[in-house]
Amino acid sequence: MKFWLIPVALLQITLPARGQQPDSLKPRPQNPSPMIENTRLHQRIPEQAYAGMQFEIATLLPRPVKVFLPENRRKARNFDLLVHFHGAGFPTQYAALHHRNALLTATIHLGSGSGVYGRAFEDSTIFPALLHVVHDSLQTQLANPITIKRIILSGFSAGYGAIRKILSTPQNYVRVDAILLLDGIHASYVPEYQVLAEGGEIQANELAAFVRFAREAAAENSSKKFLITHSEIFPGTFVSTTEATDFILQELDMKRRPVLEWGPLGMQQISESRQHHFAVLGFAGNTAPDHVDHLHALYFFVNELMK
């Protein structure tokens, strides 16, 4: 048997000073990662105007609410209403066209950051007023009485800020039948900016409304539905969608299970957790295209939520 002697100089390791951690262990903000990702397809739905009735409501919020009824549902008289926060109107139009039931959509895009969405619904009367105006406006357009059966709220990215604010008011909470969060549920670290790996904690009260809704949706006989989808993006300065979702699962004593499945538009699902009408679907990716995948897959996830 031969033994090889390796010069000690080649094994020399530079150790960090006492009390100092190696830089490689320090989490780096990604927000999302600037890396170019070429593995997944990142398919996109066509950005176009879809056939249907469209009008705007410009009296309640800083920017107009865009309402859409697909042409193939013009003769319907009973609708589910999807109120979507953050993003252009064409993904919600596409979702309405491909929904299994008659779906009316109202798209609200107010700009960047969850704060602009939360402040827009600081006045708790705005949300019921919005529902009332959408109903009456469509009824006038169709010249027939209509019924809005279920209220679905969806938020992509920063849009969760509006949903959190709406749920914080008891009279608005009870009006919401289903929630879809598309790679958008965050909170603050405590102390601020101190990530979990460095001993930070999650500001629990910022997720309390979602925990409550998830708990109710997870109950066997509940009529409420809740679906969260998330990527692997780690912002670094605030709680990631993965961390926020893990917090909710822990509060409900639910566990994730690993999966390897194709999702919509070439997305790659890597985890899930389900209990009755509450579900979490985790997807691979920490780049901007991975984030936008969730918005373009709105049509798929709304059907998944309401099945």
Q: What would the DSSP string read from start to end of 243-292?
A: HHHHHHHHHTT---EEEEEE-GGG-EEEEEEEETTEEEEEE---BHHHHH
Q: Which residue type sits at 115?
A: G
Lowest-confidence range among 10-14, 44-48, 228-232, 295-299? 10-14
User: What three-state secondary structure class fits 189?
Assistant: strand
- Whether omega before 128 lies within 30 degrees of 0, making that bond cis, reads no
Instruction: Quote the CA–CA distance of 277 and 305 in Å, as a whole number.
Output: 8
Q: What is the pLDDT of residues 205-241, one digit of tens each?
A: 999 999 999 999 999 999 999 999 999 999 999 999 9
Task: Say if CB 264 and CB 44 are below 8 A apart.
Answer: no
Query: For 75-96, what is each residue's pLDDT tens digit?
Result: 999 999 999 999 999 999 999 9
pLDDT in tens, 142-189: 999 999 999 999 999 999 999 999 999 999 999 999 999 999 999 999
Q: Which domains does the chain possess?
A: 47-176 (3.40.50.1820), 184-307 (3.40.50)
Question: Is residue 181 within a helix (H) or strand (E), and if so which, with residue range?
Answer: strand 178-182
Nearest residue to 73 via CA among 51, 49, 41: 51
Give the pLDDT mean for 52-58.
97
Is the pLDDT reported for residue 105 higher than 60?
yes
For 191, the token pair is 């102390």
**Is 281's pLDDT higher than 50?**
yes
Using CA atoms in the order 76, 79, 85, 88, what is the torsion angle rounded to 10 degrees?
A: -10
In this structure, what DSSP letter does residue 302 have? Answer: H
Report whether pLDDT(294) > 60.
yes
The total number of residues shown for the chain amounts to 307
Please tell me the predicted confidence (pLDDT) of residue 27. Answer: 42
Task: Assess whether pLDDT exceeds 80 at residue 111.
Answer: yes
Output the pTM of the full model: 0.89
pLDDT for res 262: 97
pLDDT of the residue at 36: 77
The first and second tokens of residue 97, run together, are 């066209």
Is the pLDDT score of 21 beyond 50?
A: no
Once rounded to an integer, what is the mean pLDDT over residues 51-72?
A: 97
